[in-house]
Amino acid sequence: MKPNFLIIGAAKAGTTSLYDYLSQHPDVYMCPLKEPKFFSLEGHKLDFAGPGDRRANRRTVTDWDTYQGLFEHSPMKRATGEKSPIYLYDKATPQRIKRYVPDAKIVVVLRNPVARAYSNYVHMVRDSREPLTDFTDALAAEPARIRANWAYGWHYKQMGFYAEQLQRYYDLF
């Protein structure tokens, strides 16, 4: 079994609420792991290095068999889906989705990119993962964090360039 629709993002744009609403529908089965991130991190060695990234590394699925196992007990429903907001941002993801689930419907939820970035920052501060107490400082630190392999959660600014992210999907689907 594999999903026939994917909620690909954006992060902090309401994707968790959409996941929760869809989970309540009798004709929809949602993957029990809210963000497996398989299509973004297939085959990757999970070594993100930011504060708290080890925990995120453990909750990520990197192989197809494990990913399919997330759906093996799903009852026959009209729609089977999963949500991983990172799918919108990661450059390699559209190609992987096309390879593994070429007929899947793609669902995108967007939010004002400035509000999204700040909400993401507040989320990281709330979870005690963001060491900088000023949003402007966190934005300035983003390039160094990307080079140091901090997970996508700290890509506050980069995750907001929706046009180029969506174009990768328009080109394939």
Question: What's the confidence (pLDDT) of residue 73?
Answer: 84
Residue linked to tokens 């007929």: 103
Tell me which of 2, 12, 98, 157 is the catalytic residue.
12
Beta bridge partners of 107: 7
Question: What's the confidence (pLDDT) of residue 74?
Answer: 86
The residue extents of the domains of the chain are: 5-111+161-172
Residue 25 scores a pLDDT above 80: yes
What are the pLDDT digits (tens) for 129-168? Answer: 999 999 999 999 999 999 999 999 999 999 999 999 999 9
Would residue 157 show up in a list of annotated catalytic residues for this protein?
no
pTM of the complete model beyond 0.85: yes
DSSP for 11-23 reads: TTSSHHHHHHHHH
Q: Which residues contact 116 (CB under 8 A, 6 or more apart)?
A: 10, 11, 12, 13, 159, 160
Q: Considering the domain 5-111+161-172 in this protein, what is its CATH number?
A: 3.40.50.300
